[in-house]
Amino acid sequence: MDLQQMRYVVAVAETRNFTRAAERCFVVQSSLSHRIAALERELGVQLFARSSRRVELTSAGAAFLAGARECLAAADRAAADAAAATGVVRGRLAVGVIVTTAAVDVPELLQRYRTQHPDVRVVLRSGRSDELAAAVRNGDLDIAFLGLPEGERPSGVETVVLDHDEHVLVVPAGHRLAGSSEVTLREIAEETFVDFVRGTPGRAQSDRAFAAAGLARDVAYEAGVVELITRLIARGLGIALLPSAFIRPLAAGDPGLALVPVADGPHRVECLAWSRFNPSPATLAMLDVLGVRSRPRPGEKDLRAAR
């Protein structure tokens, strides 16, 4: 058994297709299939159930997959640590990002990081703040850019504050409140709202603000992406509260939307999270690019103080 066979098994398990797995591994399919078959003979078990149309893990394959991933991660870390000892950063950096990130220009950051550390393979994944924080805590992501209600921080990870922001009211251009200098939550509580899905951190920011004001509201439309939220608003189907730093550049190019400040609206914090347990050289290199201390002490930090 060798690491390459493990990589082949992981690729087939993730793609559920021998051809796509071979393409991912840059090898001909016959070679990949032969190596996996040889591994199955060595182990004395069948790792995959195969048909002309389907490929699925067997129970033995699922058990093997978990250990294979751990072995590969350990091998990658060992290689990265050895390279770091010579001053070269290698390995893999998994980055999570919410779609409303505004404190950092993520594409520019990744380009700058690649220029400085071309031997690191960077992978990017978008999602909700709670999901991304959990992925960092579990080791599936190395770092993540989050947006959370003011005063809330994820547990089990290191965090650094990137920026503080407040929400603005987003209404259709022809709405009665368009052009107002400022509104309060009470003035808009009877409106129909568009918002993120209930139970997500993005939704919690507005829900908590209305609850703190002792107000109820009607969220008729729930969406997982900002583009759909703004399209619903532009059609006159509702209004929304969205982070100002993110929505202002979008609204500036959309004549169908208008923004109004909210006197007592929600506030959020954008922060960076990373694992507090033995961060990889690639992770430490990203913290350096961001201006965060490479080996921070436990507890919350502020990025502006760390620079």
Task: Kindly state whether residues 8 and 35 are assigned to the same domain.
Answer: yes
Task: Give the end of a domain, one of 44, 67, 85.
Answer: 85
Residue of 1, 9, 8, 21 whose CA lies nearest to 58: 9
d(CA 259, CA 246): 12
- Evaluate if residue 222 carries a pLDDT over 90: yes
Task: Kindly state whether residues 278 and 154 are assigned to the same domain.
Answer: yes
d(CA 152, CA 161): 11
Over residues 6-26, the mean pLDDT reads 90
Query: The tokens of 241 are what?
Result: 């509260």
d(CA 92, CA 77): 9
- Evaluate if residue 83 carries a pLDDT over 70: no
Task: Kindly state whether residues 62 and 104 are assigned to the same domain.
Answer: no
Over residues 76-83, the mean pLDDT reads 73
Query: Residue 304: pLDDT band by 50, 70, 90 thresholds?
Result: very low
Task: Please write the tens of the pLDDT for every residue from 165-182.
Answer: 999 999 999 999 999 999
pLDDT at res. 26: 85
Task: Kindly state whether residues 153 and 302 are assigned to the same domain.
Answer: yes
Task: Please write the tens of the pLDDT for every residue from 84-109.
Answer: 666 678 888 999 999 999 999 999 99
- Evaluate if residue 252 carries a pLDDT over 80: yes
Task: Kindly state whether residues 262 and 277 are assigned to the same domain.
Answer: no
Task: Give the end of a domain, one of 39, 68, 85.
Answer: 85
Task: Kindly state whether residues 49 and 143 are assigned to the same domain.
Answer: no
pLDDT at res. 298: 41
Count of structural domains within the chain: 3
Contact 281, 203 (CB under 8 A): no
Amino acid, single-letter form, for residue 16: R
Query: Residue 82: pLDDT band by 50, 70, 90 thresholds?
Result: confident
d(CA 151, CA 144): 18
Task: Please write the tens of the pLDDT for every residue from 273-301.
Answer: 998 777 888 999 999 999 885 444 444 34
d(CA 81, CA 139): 17
d(CA 92, CA 305): 28
Q: What is the mean pLDDT of the chain?
A: 89
Over residues 67-71, the mean pLDDT reads 89
CATH code: domain of residue 59: 1.10.10.10
Task: Kindly state whether residues 193 and 220 are assigned to the same domain.
Answer: yes
What domain range includes position 121?
91-158+273-306
Task: Kindly state whether residues 9 and 138 are assigned to the same domain.
Answer: no
- Evaluate if residue 253 carries a pLDDT over 80: yes
Task: Kindly state whether residues 42 and 117 are assigned to the same domain.
Answer: no
pLDDT at res. 151: 83
Task: Kindly state whether residues 75 and 121 are assigned to the same domain.
Answer: no
Task: Give the end of a domain, one of 85, 116, 139.
Answer: 85
Q: List all residues 6 or more positions away from 124 whose beta carbon is below 8 Å from its beta carbon.
A: 95, 96, 97, 106, 110
pLDDT at res. 140: 85
Residue of 158, 161, 89 whose CA lies nearest to 296: 158
Q: List all residues 6 or more positions away from 23 whose beta carbon is below 8 Å from its beta carbon.
A: none
Looking up tokens 């190596």, which residue turns up? 35
- Evaluate if residue 303 carries a pLDDT over 50: no
Over residues 21-26, the mean pLDDT reads 88
Task: Kindly state whether residues 183 and 41 are assigned to the same domain.
Answer: no
CATH code: domain of residue 153: 3.40.190.10
Q: How many CA atoms lie within 13 A of 85 on its CB side?
A: 5
Helices (DSSP H) in the chain: which residue ranges? 3-15, 18-25, 29-43, 59-85, 106-116, 129-138, 185-188, 201-212, 226-234, 244-252, 281-290, 303-306
The secondary structure of 95-127 as a DSSP string is EEE-TT--SS-HHHHHHHHHHH-TTEEEEEEE-
Q: What percent of the chain has pLDDT over 70?
A: 93
Task: Kindly state whether residues 261 and 285 are assigned to the same domain.
Answer: no
3-class SS of residue 224: coil
